[in-house]
Amino acid sequence: MNRFWQIMMMSGGLWVTFFGWQEYRVSQLARPEAADVSLLELEKLEVGGVNQLVENAHVRFGPCLALYPATVYSFRVNGVFGTGESGPNTAVKDAFVPILPLDHPLVKALQNPDSSEARRGMTLNDIKFHVLLKTNQIELVRDIPRENRQLNQVQGVIINDIRPLKAEEEDLLQVNFRRLKPEQVIIVEEGRIPWGARSIWALLGLGGGLFLVGGWLFFSR
């Protein structure tokens, strides 16, 4: 085995170990079974105390309104990730969708043009929200829905500790939501299920094994 593959083995071992460590961190806050919570309960949380205020970060709630036109996303062009100009066929890496409970004043304004909220001319700039849905359902920019959609149920894991918003993503959010404080946003990764202990330790063992074997082959020559 030449040195290239030995280095690749060590690099792969580090990547697998890092992925396993991330899953281990998630497993410390989230159980395999989702806890039923209300979106209103999540909105009352403080980001810095998620693990103290939520016994199980694996949550399920609904219904809610997803504000897809206000989606913030990072993308890749020719395999390179960026935040510059994108087109309809640009591949999306991460997409974050603001979601609101159905009894939110803005939702009432959007759903009922005759409501008092609608008559006040309420817009995105007038509101705050506290829950952001990270979704893997959007592959291309053109796949982002152009209208708000009601979601009957959302299941996922609160991931603030392992995937906080990047500075560029925070800036883009504040373009649409001027009253928003990004550091107060709860991020829920849609569809994520925490791994069990056996799977995590197997992954960590595999990563460590690949790194050690690759290193031994590399330095034993």
User: pTM for the complete prediction?
Assistant: 0.77
SS3 (DSSP) at 155: strand
pLDDT at 182 (0 to 100): 78
- Which segments of the chain have a pLDDT < 50? 49, 51-52
CB-CB neighbours of 165 under 10 Å: 20
How confident is the model over 168-185, as pLDDT tens digits?
Answer: 788 877 777 777 777 778
SS3 (DSSP) at 40: helix
Q: Which residue has the tokens 């949380």?
A: 45
pLDDT at 107 (0 to 100): 81
Q: How far apart are CA 60 and CA 97, in angstroms?
A: 16
Q: How far apart are CA 107 and CA 48, in angstroms?
A: 28
pLDDT at 68 (0 to 100): 93
Angle (deg, nearest 10), helices 197-219 and 3-29: 160
pLDDT at 115 (0 to 100): 63
pLDDT at 51 (0 to 100): 47
Beta strands in the chain, from DSSP E residues, in sequence order: 35-36, 58-61, 64-66, 72-77, 80-82, 91-101, 131-135, 149-151, 154-158, 186-190
Domain-by-domain residue ranges, the chain?
Answer: 13-30+198-215, 33-193
pLDDT at 144 (0 to 100): 94
